[in-house]
Amino acid sequence: MGRILGTALWACLAVSAACAADAEWREVFAAEPFTGAPLRAGFAGRHGFAWGDGRAVRTFDLESGKDRGAFLEHAAEVGAAAASPDGSRIASGDGAGTIRIWDASTRREVLKIEGPPGAVVEIRWTPTGGHLGWVTEDGWLTIARAENGRTVADYDIEPGAEGEFVVSADGKWARVLFVSSAWDGRENLATLRTVQWNLLDGGAPRKRTWERRDPDPGARPYTGARIDPRDGRVAFADGDDLVVWSMDDDREAFRLEGGAGPVAFPAEGDLLVGAPA
């Protein structure tokens, strides 16, 4: 997902086929060490890219390890980068809130998006490559069209929230789930919020909020909440029960008594995997 706000928007790690042989790991190449911030890296087709050393995003050939040059158009330190699903483009965001989309092979800029002020901490493309979403360190989530940079959805997420951002495989729905808690001196108020946007047809977002109060200041009843990436169902703990809620129908799909705990939705099939507390 991960964390929203102040850290990152649920970074996903992918392993290139070039990094494995006969089911065994092997080193493909070792880049020169970076200085400054911790190195982060990703894959774009046959290219690798890395950032964490100021305003540059460096690219490498994954087969030979040859340095393919750097993208140097950012005016502020790069905080996040992600490759499009087909690996042809890379979107990188900097400390000024600017998103730049560029060609992974030529490193030529394709599009510049002036986003809301604030350092970009995570970027994610939709599965179709038609949109991309990013979040700033102060919690502002933006979703824009990749072809022209036009904003189609934005949302201000409260400080300290944790959650995930999911886009349907057809690129139509963007869904966000985030959890927060606040202690008022007597009770801990835990809040689970979901927001859903129709990226193709527009319209107002659908929102839903759940709240639970607990005298325990450390209570975190919603931290295991998850979104099904296929159809927008949400699974979360409600006391000792596991609840599955349909975001499309805005209703409870079913409830499993005594099934509370972290859950996961497999990529295929109808199985719901849970770990009762």
Domains held by the chain: number: 2
pTM for the structure as a whole? 0.74
Give per-residue pLDDT as tens, 176-225.
888 888 888 889 888 899 999 988 887 888 899 988 888 888 777 776 78
Instruction: Judge if 42 and 146 occupy the same domain.
Output: yes
Q: How far apart are CA 140 and CA 154, in angstroms?
A: 7
Instruction: Judge if 176 and 41 occupy the same domain.
Output: no
Cβ atoms of 181 and 19 closer than 8 Å = no
The pLDDT, as a whole number, for residue 256 is 83
Instruction: Judge if 128 and 231 occupy the same domain.
Output: no
Instruction: Judge if 99 and 236 occupy the same domain.
Output: no
Instruction: Judge if 49 and 147 occupy the same domain.
Output: yes
Instruction: Judge if 188 and 129 occupy the same domain.
Output: no
Q: How far apart are CA 29 and CA 222, in angstroms?
A: 42
The residue from 167, 195, 230 where one domain ends is 167
The pLDDT, as a whole number, for residue 38 is 52
The pLDDT, as a whole number, for residue 75 is 94
Which domain covers residue 224, as residue numbers? 172-277
Q: How far apart are CA 193 and CA 207, in angstroms?
A: 7
Give per-residue pLDDT as tens, 127-153.
889 999 999 998 899 999 999 999 998
According to DSSP H, which parts of the chain are helical? none
pLDDT band at 5 (very low <50, low <70, confident <90, very high): very low
Residue 114 has pLDDT above 70, yes or no: yes
The residue from 126, 150, 167 where one domain ends is 167
* Token output for 208: 């839903």
Instruction: Judge if 184 and 113 occupy the same domain.
Output: no
Q: How many CB atoms lie under 10 A from the CB of residue 86?
A: 12
Residue 271 has pLDDT above 60, yes or no: no
The pLDDT, as a whole number, for residue 108 is 96
Q: Is 128 left (phi over 0), alpha (psi -120 to 50) or beta?
A: alpha
The residue from 167, 195, 210 where one domain ends is 167
